[in-house]
Chain A
């Protein structure tokens, strides 16, 4: 085949929704930088996203003008800081379409959110002989906390299988639900494969048997509007830094009735309402789960990031990204000697691939020389790699500021990899 036949097919990407990507790019200062003498092509968004100027400015403003501890002082600054922190909680509630801010717990990230549920709800409700059901496409953060819990309790961790495309086998999932299953913990979108799980049907199946469902939304919220009430999930976890917010802040949504019945997670200040040496009464929701001084600037930054995304119209964002992913999939799959890992019908944001005869690490180094940032390795999902019989993949992952040009640069970069290793 001639090389010409595999040149980027200009015109197949139309930006049908008319998303103003150049205006968005201007909001992210880092995108104007150069790496290894080339303009930065940032395609490692599933690891962490870049931050718009409004987010970093809000954090700076907080420290310059509003810094004080929250929920404690009667002085003016403390009240300003408390208001800003709680305003961020209200923004998160709106973002997730949750019913009540009492259901929004600030944590360090999705990992801590899952650990919180495993070590409180899990420890209280999972006993010897019980089962916890996860899927074969989980990130380590949605495997290990449950493994530890099961080990401690003498319970069993069950894993719902996936097919060769990286799609959950829903029938098998349903068969694994039984009277011993105490909780289902599943990812909304796979970080290694990009597969979108059929979460509505999964939740329905679990609820039909009275089993609560936790969703790991870390890779979902950057790419699609989420409505926890319509989904009817019991817990929803996500990290701020993957959705244009700062690192160190994340969210656990939980249904109020479940959170009320759960024992506290960490203990200390803030999470109490009264302490004597004889007895401590815990604070009300959500503060019961927020011991110690929280990441105030992080919460404020996250609130601003989510507002930024909502102002962009998340449906339009999702449509644009969807079209860009389809274009990237078509272009990368058309390169001879490149294999896509994860070809689910429903996908979001992620393009994992293998270049024949070249280890992903070498792919990553060569792309980096072209200014292209991708992730290489097992993506904290070793069981997924094992499922496909590979040690690692290279992963390009998209965000709202990526363009057709970024995808074309990736395709040219992969061709460069093949030249070096020819």
Chain B
């Protein structure tokens, strides 16, 4: 049986209550909206990308603890990274939460995002954990449509 504490780790709860980079990035040149209508999670991700590097990144919106903490940690870990580096983190994160990579197995790539390892035991919550990331992807690709992971 999956343990609730595997999902709601301290770091996740802490970030959901006090999200980092909770802002609209001034002079953002990348922006996308993510919305999961069934659960109501709704975020905007904004970035300032210069010379292929994420100079600044922020998010705003409402949603569950998992989606909010994921957005918060995403902004923290990606600030200062190049786009290829960010893509690599995203791929590592995705394989972690979908159970394709063993928990902690790719810690060197994704750092403290390993706290989301428990999500793979809760398939209904994968869409929560990945919403901000897919929104980020849309922002980087310049997509206009609202992103959804439902």
Contacts and interface: CB of A to CB of B under 8 A. Distances in A.
A156 B83 CA distance: 49
A359 B12 CA distance: 14
Interface string A378-400: 10001001000001100000000
Interface stretch (B46-54, B57-65, B94-102, B103-111): B57-65
A362 B8 CA distance: 9
A365 B125 contact: yes
Interface string A399-422: 000000000000000000000110
B40 A358 contact: no
B66 A377 contact: no
A381 B9 CA distance: 32
A391 B35 CA distance: 11
Contacts of B38: 377-378
B13 A366 contact: no
Given A391-B62, A421-B13, A421-B65, A361 B39 contact: yes
B71 to A, nearest CB: 13
Nearest to B127: A361
Interface string B1-39: 110100110000100010000000000000000000111
A36 interface: yes
A37 interface: yes
B64 A361 contact: yes
Contacts of A385: 40
Contacts of A37: 1
A359 B65 contact: yes
B126 to A, nearest CB: 12
A369 B63 CA distance: 20
Interface residue tally on B, bucketed by range: 20 to 34
A420 B4 contact: yes
Most chain-B CB neighbours within 10 Å: which of A360, A366, A369?
A369
Interface string B112-133: 0000000000101100100000
A204 to B, nearest CB: 37
A376 interface: yes
B134 interface: no
A391 B122 contact: no
A392 B65 contact: no
B13 A365 contact: no
B40 A391 contact: yes
A205 B8 CA distance: 52
Given A365-B124, A366-B4, A378 B65 contact: no
Contacts of B17: 357
A376 B65 CA distance: 14
Contacts of B4: 365-366, 369, 420
B6 to A, nearest CB: 11
Interface in A122-179: none
23 contacts: A359-B63, A360-B39, A360-B64, A361-B41, A361-B64, A361-B128, A362-B64, A362-B65, A362-B66, A365-B122, A365-B125, A366-B4, A369-B4, A376-B39, A377-B38, A377-B40, A378-B38, A378-B40, A385-B40, A392-B39, A392-B40, A420-B8, A420-B13
Given A362-B66, A391-B62, 11 more contacts: A359-B64, A360-B64, A361-B66, A361-B125, A377-B38, A377-B39, A391-B39, A391-B41, A421-B8, A421-B13, A421-B65
Interface of A: 36-37, 357-362, 365-366, 369, 376-378, 382, 385, 391-392, 420-421
Closest 10 CB pairs of A and B: A391-B40, A359-B64, A361-B64, A392-B40, A362-B65, A369-B4, A37-B1, A362-B64, A361-B39, A420-B8
